Amino acid sequence: MGAASLVLVVLVTVGAILLFDREQSAETRARVQASALAADDTADAPPGIWLIEIGTKGRAATPGTPDFILDAPELVTPRSTTTRVKTSSGAYPVAVSEHSGSTFVAVYDIALHREEESRLIRSALLAGGFGILLAGGVGLIAGRRAVRPLATALELQRQFVADASHELRTPLAVVSTRAQMVQRHLSAEANPAHRREVDQLVDDTRAMGEVVSDLLLSAQLEHAPIAAESVDLTALAAEVVQSLEAYAVSQSVTLSSQLPGDAVRVLGVRTSLRRALVALIDNAIAHSPQLGEVLVRVENSVDGPRLAIIDHGQGVGAEDLTRITQRFARSRPGEGGRRVGLGLALVTQIVRSHGGRLLVDETPGGGATFIIALPAEA
């Protein structure tokens, strides 16, 4: 908007100057012609006009006429067709008239024209600048008024998600606990079909609890400031890998780690980074083939700390990264690609809130490598 206003001001200024020059040129020609025709001596020249009289007694000129005008070749023997005198200071409009036994030459002082032109340019620029400021102020006020309802609606939506997630956690925890108690006390002689249903109920309630936790964390990440602390990625990765080893084995997947001997530290929220790492490892295990391998690697590269999760399952192209980091997205719609729910969207939020990036690369031999790139601890 500011650029468009500036262009408009420039165009208006240029147009005004061109129009001013055109009108001034016509007015100037009329003035010098009238002055030359009405002249009977050089003493009473009109304002802004120099008169030169050439007669039998020689030449006479209005006091103050510059020497470069008097010495101009065009005015040594002026002709009636002479309309302009070119000098080092510019071109001066002139008019020649012969009457009363003399030749009278009227020369217009272009310094007056230049002063008027400068005054016009200054006025146009001042008016244009004021117009830009006024338009910018009006646009800013109008923009804020237009965006305020949207911002309020988004804040209400975020608050609703946070409140609903918080209220759902307790009843879901109760349901999950009761399902686990039923599972634990189910007799060995129980109907296998009933046992499978109870096992599925336990898994479903656990999944629902994770989704609710993700929604609550997502709502908090969007607005809550980060209470940063020093986090050792090496220790964090070792802890998460150990906690998920049993789950990986139950899925017929080998989970291993490649960790440096020294601590790799970043500034962040440990619980959030742990949730992001768990989500990526869970995603890798879920998309690994039977007897597949998932590797968690931590390194301190020249570009900063890197936490990589490497699998050998269904790959994901770099062009799909934006899509799969959206909520409930699929890497290749309609082709059975990675379905990620809130997981990768939440990981992306966590990583961005820590000033980092979520990168994806192809694993040699097939699969995907997700990399959390974070800034080093200052």
**Could you give all domains of the chain from N- to C-terminal order, each with its CATH number?**
2-108 (no CATH), 144-221 (1.10.287), 226-373 (3.30.565.10)
| Among the ranges given (188-197, 248-257, 300-309), the one the predictor scored with the smallest mean pLDDT | 188-197
Q: H-helix or E-strand containing 373?
A: strand 368-373
pLDDT at 334 (0 to 100):
45
Query: What pLDDT, on the 0 to 100 scale, is given for residue 203?
Result: 76
Higher pLDDT, 331 or 308: 308
CB 37 within 8 A of CB 99: yes
Q: Who wins on pLDDT, 187 or 364?
A: 364
CA 88 to each of CA 69, 72, 116, 220: distance values in angstroms, whole numbers, following the listed order: 10, 10, 21, 74
Question: Per mean pLDDT, which range of 15-29, 44-58, 193-207, 261-275 is the poorest?
Answer: 15-29
Give the pairing of strands 292-301 and 304-311.
antiparallel
Give the amino acid at 202. Answer: V
Contacts of 24 (CB under 8 A, 6+ apart): 113, 116, 117
Residue 84 has pLDDT above 90, yes or no: no
- Residue pair 83/28 in contact (Cβ under 8 Å)? The answer is no
Mean pLDDT over 243-265 rounds to 91
Sole residue written with tokens 């607005």: 223
Mean pLDDT of 191-210: 78
- What's the whole-number average pLDDT of the chain? 78
When pLDDT is averaged across residues 9-13 and rounded to a whole number, the result is 63
User: Which has more confidence, 17 or 282?
Assistant: 282
Alpha-carbon gap, residue 78 to 96, rounded angstroms? 7
The confidence band for 3, taking pLDDT boundaries of 50, 70 and 90, is low
| Tokens 């780690």, residue located | 257
Whole-angstrom Cα distance, residue 110 to residue 179? 99
Q: Which residue has the tokens 């936490």?
A: 307
Q: How many helices (H) and strands (E) does the chain have?
A: 8, 14
pLDDT at 299: 93
pTM, full prediction? 0.49
Residue type, 29: R
What b/e string do you get for 203-213 counting C-beta neighbours within 10 Å, with b at 16 or more? eebeeebbebb
* H or E segment to which residue 295 belongs: strand 292-301
